[in-house]
Amino acid sequence: MRYALYYCPDKIEQLTDLGSQWLGRDAFTNTPVTQPDVDGISKSEFWEYTETPRRYGFHGTLKPPFRAADGVSMDHVHEAVQTFARQTAPFELDGLSPNRLGKFLALTPTQPSTALDALARRTITELDGLRAPLSEADIARRRKADLTPEQDAYMLKWGYPYVFEFFRFHLTLSGKLSDKTALAAMQRAALTHFAPVLGQPVRINQIALFIEDEDGGPFRVADTFRFEGASQ
């Protein structure tokens, strides 16, 4: 079993519905969802392009997947995340838009957010006691990404290389696409599909505990925890 701490909007929010439709799976119910028709991309191609993010569910990563440290139970994880949420104040992003991040597509904030960066930093550092150290195989796999010395050091200390100054919040919409034409078509489709919510304020008011029950399986929402801290 692995855990992950993600941002995801409420189950009843339109953004959740649109994200689940796009990926073809609802992470709250762990059930398939009919994907939209996309101009210039066949159904089978669209299914293939969204295969990787579909497994993880519609989300924005705060603390990436990890195995629990020795002696850390599900109850320990639940209690720690609940305490963290009670000490965290909700805030808003100005909006989201579909953008290319290297070879994949994601919804990203339209404006920088110091509150979001602070949330990500706290999630990584304050909840790190839940995480087991990376295995040698995990380290070797991460190093295939040609990490910088700083990223490598972060990976060894925090279990993930893309933290702190390397963090970029995003809700992934595709796997890696080497075909630039396909990536452009996906971006055009995302602009249409997510049009009802693009540019609208996004309330960051909870953290979600996702669980992968077995290696290679889909991640599902196990619980969500509302932020209850006082706003500054």
Give per-residue pLDDT as tens, 66-123: 999 999 999 999 999 999 999 999 999 999 999 999 999 999 999 999 999 999 999 9
Mean pLDDT of 141-145: 93
Mean pLDDT of 151-169: 96
The mean pLDDT of the chain is: 96
Q: How many CA atoms lie within 13 A of 56 on its CB side?
A: 21
pLDDT value, residue 137: 94
pLDDT value, residue 135: 94
pLDDT value, residue 39: 85
Q: Do 16 and 229 touch, CB atoms closer than 8 A?
A: no
Mean pLDDT of 204-228: 97
pLDDT value, residue 232: 61
Q: Do 170 and 60 touch, CB atoms closer than 8 A?
A: yes
Mean pLDDT of 148-171: 97
Task: Answer whether residue 226 shows pLDDT above 80.
Answer: yes
CA 231 from chain center: how many Å?
Answer: 24
Give Cα separations from 14 to 11, 71, 77, 108, 196 (angstroms). Answer: 8, 39, 29, 17, 8
Give Cα separations from 56 to 25, 51, 196 (angstroms). Answer: 9, 9, 24
**Domains of the chain by range and CATH?**
2-226 (3.90.1140.10)
DSSP label at residue 200: S
Rounded Cα distance, 10 and 204, in Å: 10
Mean pLDDT of 172-193: 94
Q: CB atoms < 10 A from the CB of 12, how many?
A: 8
SS3 49: helix
Q: What are the backbone dihedrals phi and psi of residue 39, each rounded to the nearest 5 degrees, phi first?
A: -65, 130
Q: What are the backbone dihedrals phi and psi of residue 92, each rounded to the nearest 5 degrees, phi first?
A: -120, 145
What would the pLDDT profile of 56-73 be if each residue is shown by its tens digit? Answer: 999 999 999 999 999 999
pLDDT value, residue 40: 85
pLDDT value, residue 103: 92
Residue ranges in the chain assigned as alpha helix (H): 14-23, 43-49, 51-56, 74-86, 114-126, 136-143, 149-158, 180-193
* Size (the chain), residues: 232
Rounded Cα distance, 222 and 78, in Å: 10
